[in-house]
Amino acid sequence: MKKVLALILALTLVAACFVGCGKKEADGDIPTLVWYVPGDAQEDTALVMEAANKIVEKEIGARIDLKFLDQSAFSQKMELKMASKDDFDLCFTGYINVYSKAAKLGGLEPLDELLKLTPDLVEATPQFYWDAAKVDGKIYAVPNQQIVAAQSCPFIPVELVEKYNLDVDSITEYSQLEPFMKAVYENEDGIWPWRNRNAYFKVDGTFEEIVPIGIAIDKDSFDGETGIDVVFTDNHESFLEGMRIRYSWYEKGYIRKDVLSATDDNSDYLAGKYAMDIQTYKPGVEVNIKNVLGKDVVAVRNIAKPYIKAGACQSTMIGIGKNSKHKEEAMKFIELINTNKELYNLICFGIEGVHYDLNEDGFVVKKEDSKYAPEADWKFGNQFNALVREGADADVWEQTEALNNEAVELDQVSPVLGFSFDNSKVEAEITALTAYRKEKGTAYFVGAKSIEDGYDDYIQGMYDRGLEKVIAEAQRQVDAFLEEKARNSK
């Protein structure tokens, strides 16, 4: 009998252990955080997650489940998940799954209190990112540090710079490039001096477009706190002068005569048929252009200052789902992916020796048969923690961070940093104005038509289609944004 009782007791203890162990897992002592990111599915994601979770579980007592969703459908799928109160934990938000929209629709958890759990993350992120992340005074996502200072400038093949002795560093205005364009036009067969890819010719840094139909803030009108003018740039004198200059280039032959019909000129660009192309500068971009164009190029950088636009810091972010059951763990994971370089690079590149190798100089070389290559460091966290790919400068991230800081030091930061226009009250007007502007304005913008020829009729047509209403709505929103910002700073 004693032996039977002992056996029953032992079996009871074993059963209790099984029940307890099962309950421990079921109660979520080791939660799995679901993280949605736009991009193509990677065959070896599970293998990478297995390696990543050795770090994640040790550091924060959780696991991560990275799920890629088709980029073209990402916004729609995330909106449905948010509307249906899906309990996902983390998601990409920014230029798709638009941050301000996701925040205002209630799909993201406010992070202001949760950020108190992650002091290392707060300290590692410059203040201007946090300022830019606020929607109605609250932070709903963590910005991924990357290039945020935009600097549009001409890129010219080195062979032409040297041939015509162009002093690149002395160029501070587009008009100073005319002698170079004239030399190219007269001496180079089959090469157009100017590529008209940027249809809108901006001749100064006074304006920042906030509605993509020529509605902008006049930065020079900012009073330092709440006052700033919203204007229509198409009829502003500096822009009219820019179009006069461009039309003169068109007449002189510096711009191709079929510019209006040549809507897709990428094959001509790749064939080296342009002496100049306007692109956004960032450290290392010359290598990228050389890989595409097949020749060395130089940037005319003194023609514009680096500038941090209103939505620059909101383009790539990580948010926590409003209905997540593991918000604290999710917050700690965001800190981890932004501060733990080993984990971040594992998510970005995969497993060393399996998905990529490091060459003798420490640069990443992707394996040809790699089954994990998202090629999107900026989607996952602080890009300044990334390994450097072969072909880039070893200090590319230090250079990039320095460019961002230069914009801040030069006070080249949008006075409405973090603002995004809500078009819901003027959607019909914007649709009509966008179509009309493209139809009637493009010829002037690209230089193919003189503003002395019917430009006033184009401007009147914009007003006839509700331009004034959109300007007034933009002004109202900008005023409200600045007033809210002023209240929160007190």
182 and 50 in one domain? no
Domain count of the fold of the chain: 3
Output the DSSP codes for 376-406: -GGGTS-GGGSPPBTTS-TTHHHHHHHHHHH
Specify the pairing of strand 149-150 against strand 307-308: antiparallel
* Parent domain of 338: 31-144+315-408
DSSP-assigned letter for residue 243: H
288 and 159 in one domain? yes
Residue 109 domain-assigned (yes or no): yes
- Domain end call among 308, 338, 368: 308
What pLDDT, on the 0 to 100 scale, is given for residue 12? Answer: 45
161 and 257 in one domain? yes
Nearest alpha-carbon partner for 185 in 242, 260, 257 = 257
Residue 107 domain-assigned (yes or no): yes
- Domain end call among 308, 339, 362: 308
What pLDDT, on the 0 to 100 scale, is given for residue 204? Answer: 56
Residue 447 domain-assigned (yes or no): no
127 and 39 in one domain? yes
Cα 221 to its chain centre, rounded Å, is 27
Segment 402-421, tens digit of pLDDT: 999 999 999 999 999 999 89
116 and 14 in one domain? no
153 and 298 in one domain? yes
Residue 221 domain-assigned (yes or no): no
Helix axis angle, 455-464 to 467-489, nearest 10°? 70
390 and 252 in one domain? no
User: CB of 390 within 8 A of CB of 372?
Assistant: no
Nearest alpha-carbon partner for 304 in 204, 445, 201, 404 = 204
Residue 471 domain-assigned (yes or no): no
282 and 157 in one domain? yes
Q: How far apart are CA 356 and CA 371, in angstroms?
A: 10
Residue 424 domain-assigned (yes or no): no
Continuous H helices in 36-166: 45-60, 74-83, 99-104, 119-124, 127-132, 158-163
67 and 108 in one domain? yes
Residue 84 domain-assigned (yes or no): yes
Cα 445 to its chain centre, rounded Å, is 25
280 and 154 in one domain? yes
Low-confidence ranges of the chain (pLDDT < 50): 1-27
Residue 459 domain-assigned (yes or no): no
131 and 35 in one domain? yes
Q: How far apart are CA 474 and CA 385, in angstroms?
A: 38
Domain CATH for 86: 3.40.190.10
261 and 280 in one domain? yes
- Domain end call among 386, 408, 430: 408
At 149, list the tokens: 């200072």
